[in-house]
Amino acid sequence: MAVGERALQASRSRACTTRRDARLRNESGFAIYWLAMTIVLVLASTALVVDLGYRSAMAERAQNAVDAAALGGTIFLPTDFASADARAKELALANGFDPNDPNVSFKTSPVLGQPTQLKVTVTRKLPVFLGGIVGVHSMTVTKTATADYDQPVQMGNPSNTFGNQPDCVAVCTTGTANPEFWANIEGPGTAKSKGNAFTSNTCDAVSDGCAGGVNADYQPQGELFTIHNANAGTSLGVELFDAIYAHVGDKCDDGNLGLLESFFSADPVLGPRYKRGGWSPTNQYCTGDESTAYPLASNVPTATHFQVFAPDATPWTLADNQVVPGCTLDLAGTNDVFANYANIAKYFRQWTSLCTIASAQVGDYILQVQTPGKVGTGNNNFSIRLSDNGSLTSASVSVFGQGRMAIYANTANNASTSFYLARVLPGAAGRTLTLDFFDTGDALGGASGKLTVLPPADSTGTGLPASFGGCTFTPPGNSTYQATASNCSVGSVSSATYNGKWVHWKVPIPANYSCDITNQFGCWVRINFAFNGGTLDVTSWKASLDGNPVRIVN
């Protein structure tokens, strides 16, 4: 090969090597750049995964915290927002969100138009671990929950008194002085068909809920009354009328009472007080305590135990409530008011102070009425009244049945009487009110009557009809619901078919239902008893709303 050709080939070879080396250098630089970019993207992705994963976990914890705070706080509404707020903060702290932490914003608020609902909002500023790599320097999480609480449905009364109010001078209550009923408790030995489904524990052939001879409705804790106090630090007085069981007959015509009446006939105070005869506005002292075992000598007088428990954060149970010191009373009953007058005079047809609670706290006290030792075969009928710093006309205190109650209705002189049945708050809109009535048909003379469930008077002014629609009920001896008349009423109610029987009602609450919760007498569903000639009857009632009583609604 010529020298020139070898030189040309060598030159070409060097050129190829140079280009190859340059290409390799370029590819190497791109690979380094690509590797660097990949590392950055991986780090950024890792940062986002770590920080967003942390935020997601904290968001779940925050939701759990506000749910717990709302559920725990709402039970104090609608009357004690301060306690609702304090309880919500306690539960938020217990779930890892300290309301006092500068990185935490915590807020509770009532819901406009829904006074039983509590809204809780928490916002927390979160630390950023790797997000700064991609310019994310801060994150926050915000969660909200709204809870609602159905307190045990208030029954029977919106005022500071429960039952008839003998010795009423001028104005003695924020409610009706003579609502024509007494509170009732029956001894466990009393037959269930006598009317009190909750404290009678002796079954009979005619009564519902007595399979196998066991009363399925028996409540060992007795009758429960809520004493609501809205006046912090007040002197709260609790009084009872005719607290002792003393047999006089349901029409107060017992012969031993006649002996007492004759003995005190010349006494201008005690003569009228011991008068025989059924209850009337002019004979206001007849409570109708009656033995249910005859001959009378075989009757075991009903013993009665009264006790007041202080408010606490668990209103649905008495298991952890503390007894208020000095608010306990035990009374043995009697079959002979004349022979045992010296022992019963302090309580018989008299007002008796159960206790006075100094510096009472805001909230719901519970008055428990029991028959200790499961003793008694008779009805004890009585009344309750509360005073607020000595006043009997304060709207800051009220007493009512707690989800259930038994009363002795003594409408002997009226053919039609309306009772406050159950308080239904605005949060019940669109839900169903269940009402259960036991032994409601004992009209005087065996006559039949009619029961009508009426909406609150203040709710009909909001454009709602004057009667409920779509109500259904279970007639005695029937297991299926039957449609009622359009005005939510049931006729042909008599002892022949209703004695010892439960009747179950379903009352749809309209979706646009509203009422004035700020009014002590607002939101009360009523029941009208229309019996020709009236009634003398112990009857038991229950009320509840469908769904969980404490629930998240938003």
Q: Is residue 125 situated within a structural domain? A: yes
Structure tokens at 275: 């008068």
Distance CA 313, CA 363 (A): 10
Chain CA centroid to CA 370, Å: 20
Q: Are 74 and 84 in contact (CB under 8 A)?
A: yes
Cα within 13 Å of Cα(128), Cβ side: 14
Task: Verify that 92 and 229 share a domain, yes or no.
Answer: no
Task: Verify that 101 and 231 share a domain, yes or no.
Answer: no
Q: Is residue 14 situated within a structural domain? A: no
Helix and strand element counts for the chain (H, E): 6, 26
CATH code (residue 466): 2.60.120
Q: Are 363 and 283 in contact (CB under 8 A)?
A: no
Q: Is residue 341 situated within a structural domain? A: yes
Mean pLDDT, residues 446-474: 84
Distance CA 444, CA 414 (A): 11
Q: Are 192 and 205 in contact (CB under 8 A)?
A: no
Q: Is residue 19 situated within a structural domain? A: no
Mean per-residue pLDDT over the chain, rounded: 85
Task: Verify that 145 and 264 share a domain, yes or no.
Answer: no
Task: Verify that 415 and 499 share a domain, yes or no.
Answer: yes
Structure tokens at 516: 């004035």
The domain boundary, picked from 131, 149, 167, lies at 149
Task: Verify that 448 and 530 share a domain, yes or no.
Answer: yes
Q: What is the phi/psi pair of residue 261, to 5°?
A: -60, -45
Q: Is residue 65 situated within a structural domain? A: yes
The domain boundary, picked from 373, 405, 437, lies at 405
Q: Would the pLDDT of 478 be above 90?
A: no
Task: Verify that 186 and 167 share a domain, yes or no.
Answer: yes
State residue 50's pLDDT score: 59
Domain enclosing residue 186, as ranges: 153-204+217-405
Task: Verify that 449 and 465 share a domain, yes or no.
Answer: yes
Mean pLDDT, residues 317-339: 93
Domain count, the chain: 3
Structure-model confidence comparison of residues 432 and 27, the more confident one: 432
Q: By C-alpha distance, which of 368, 444, 380 is closest to 183?
A: 380
Distance CA 295, CA 302 (A): 16
Which pLDDT band, with edges at 50, 70 and 90, does 12 fall under? low
Task: Verify that 255 and 328 share a domain, yes or no.
Answer: yes
Query: pLDDT digit string (tens) for 106-163?
Result: 999 888 777 788 999 999 887 765 555 555 566 788 999 999 877 778 888 889 999 9
The domain boundary, picked from 149, 175, 191, lies at 149
Task: Verify that 358 and 242 share a domain, yes or no.
Answer: yes
State residue 24's pLDDT score: 47
Task: Verify that 126 and 167 share a domain, yes or no.
Answer: no
The lowest-confidence range among 56-65, 256-265, 273-282 is 56-65
Q: Are 290 and 247 in contact (CB under 8 A)?
A: yes
Q: Is residue 210 situated within a structural domain? A: no
Q: Is residue 17 situated within a structural domain? A: no
Identity of the highest mean pLDDT range in 271-275, 383-387, 510-514 = 383-387
Distance CA 467, CA 160 (A): 28
Mean pLDDT, residues 31-47: 57
Task: Verify that 390 and 470 share a domain, yes or no.
Answer: no
Q: Is residue 35 situated within a structural domain? A: yes
Q: What is the pTM of this model?
A: 0.79
Task: Verify that 397 and 424 share a domain, yes or no.
Answer: no
Pairing type for strands 524-531 and 104-111 reads unpaired
